[in-house]
Amino acid sequence: MIANVTKVTAFFLAVLGLVIGEVSGNPAARALGDAFADVYAKVAPSVVVLEVTKPPGEGEDFNWESFFGAPGGPRRPRAQESEGSGFVIGADGYILTNAHVIAGADPENGVVARRQDGRRLPLKVVGVDEKTDLAVLKADVTDLPAVEWGNSDKVRVGEFVCGIGAPFELDYTLTAGVISAKGRSNLTSTVYEDYLQTDAAINPGNSGGPLVDLDGKVVGVNTLINRLNSSLGFAIPAKLAQTVSKQLIAGGRVVRPWLGIRIETLADQPALQKVLGLDNGVVVREIFANTPAARSELQPADVVVDVDGDPVASARDLQRAVLNKGIGATVNLKVWRRQDGDYRTVPVEAEELPPAPETKQAAARPRPFRPPAPGSEAAADPLTAFGLQVQDLPDEVAAEMSLPAGGVIVTHLEPGSPAALAGLKRRDVITAAGEDAVGNSEGLAEVLGKLAEGDGAVLLVERQGKETYAILKK
């Protein structure tokens, strides 16, 4: 295979040939074509087409013929079949694909790999990680050619990449394009997002297939299709795919570290920026009980600005930094603490993320909050309009709670009200609204009464001896 520099040069020469009408017989154009052909020849034997069989009814559309009475009576439910792609990551039969490709597959021989040479291999599911949309399968063979991994961290925007898969059931289709962007997020509901964006055609059936560079090394796993713009596709970076696949092979599941905090990006909260005196970082919104953070000196309303010397500007930055740590590792958080007016470093020992609790019964939905009727006596009271009841905090009680004089204590919250939705809780002590101290309930009512429609007030709150905040929006 020719060197990368030669390939890039060949591309630009080929483009020049197109411009001046000298494509025919142009050696540079032929060299570029040879480079893509070399990639295909190297990688295609490691790619498999996945035939997925799901039990009857899984994802099946409503049977209108049965409903209205088709000739011969209702049809019997049929097994559902679909296709996706995957690729060999170990000569001992391990195959990587997307979790969604095999979702709902029949547990008994529900996934079969169809190879380029025509062989069909039954597969067993080794492990699935829905958080990253990755799954590892295994064939009972030892002679499969494995792919070579590339370094997704070093791939550059503008680099040529190729995808190989089975779009629209067209097996072993090669598509080519460039890396259009890196670090794409907010495409799904998961926090584990760090997608490579490419303009190489990614279509249904490509999911789970490899995205490779011009050396034939895998830099990503094709996973998402932009259905509004078919020229955009997304791939899971190879670095993440390698980490997840190794854990799935070793133990059938992925172990992740966590600190036990709820956070939000400070840049998304202009009102909070003014109160805290910072414009960048990640605010600790809540610390969960019996977690690593709860056993540390971290406090609600602390602003995390870096992790082990690396700056963090968003909640996703902090999440990724923690995920890159091992279980038991010490995570050093540099935080700004408003009460001190200074920075400090808080070490937190990462622990394993516990499984999500099973919900046995759906929680009862609170009745909708009904604001007071306009012009009524209740509507004239800003506290009532927000669904909030407070009581002045006597100086002697404040002293007993080690709080500054003044403030109000929350005595009642209307379910579904703006105050409840802001995260306020009974027994919270509101000490300030924005930059102004709250001396009593009248002072709080005055601040809230001045809010225009769509505005919000940042309330500083003392909760069980720790400072936090709530953003009350009108």
Q: Active-site residues: which are they?
A: 100, 133, 207
If we measure between CA atoms, which residue out of 215, 200, 177, 219 comes closest to residue 39?
215
At 94 the three-state DSSP class reads strand
The kind and range of the H/E element at 8 are helix 4-19
* CA 204 to each of CA 46, 222, 225: distance values in angstroms, whole numbers, following the listed order: 20, 10, 8
Is 174:40 a contact under the CB 8 Å cutoff? yes
- Kind plus residue range of the DSSP H or E element containing 149: strand 148-149
Q: What are phi and psi of 175, to 5 degrees?
A: -125, 150
* Selection from 171, 42, 55, 48 nearest residue 120 by Cα: 48
CA neighbours closer than 13 Å in the CB half-sphere of residue 313: 2
Contacts of 361 (CB under 8 A, 6+ apart): none
CA distances from 135 to 190, 196, 202, 234 (A): 16, 19, 19, 17
How crowded is residue 392: how many other Cβ atoms within 10 Å of its Cβ?
Answer: 18
Indicate if the alpha-carbon torsion angle 376, 378, 384, 387 is positive or negative. negative
Identify which of 46, 245, 29 has the alpha carbon closest to the alpha carbon of residue 143. 46
| Closest to 182 in 3D by CA, of 240, 126, 102, 230 | 240
> Is the sign of the CA dihedral 189, 298, 324, 308 positive or negative?
positive
Contact 39, 162 (CB under 8 A): yes
CB 87 within 8 A of CB 96: yes
Phi, psi of 92 (to 5 degrees): -85, 20
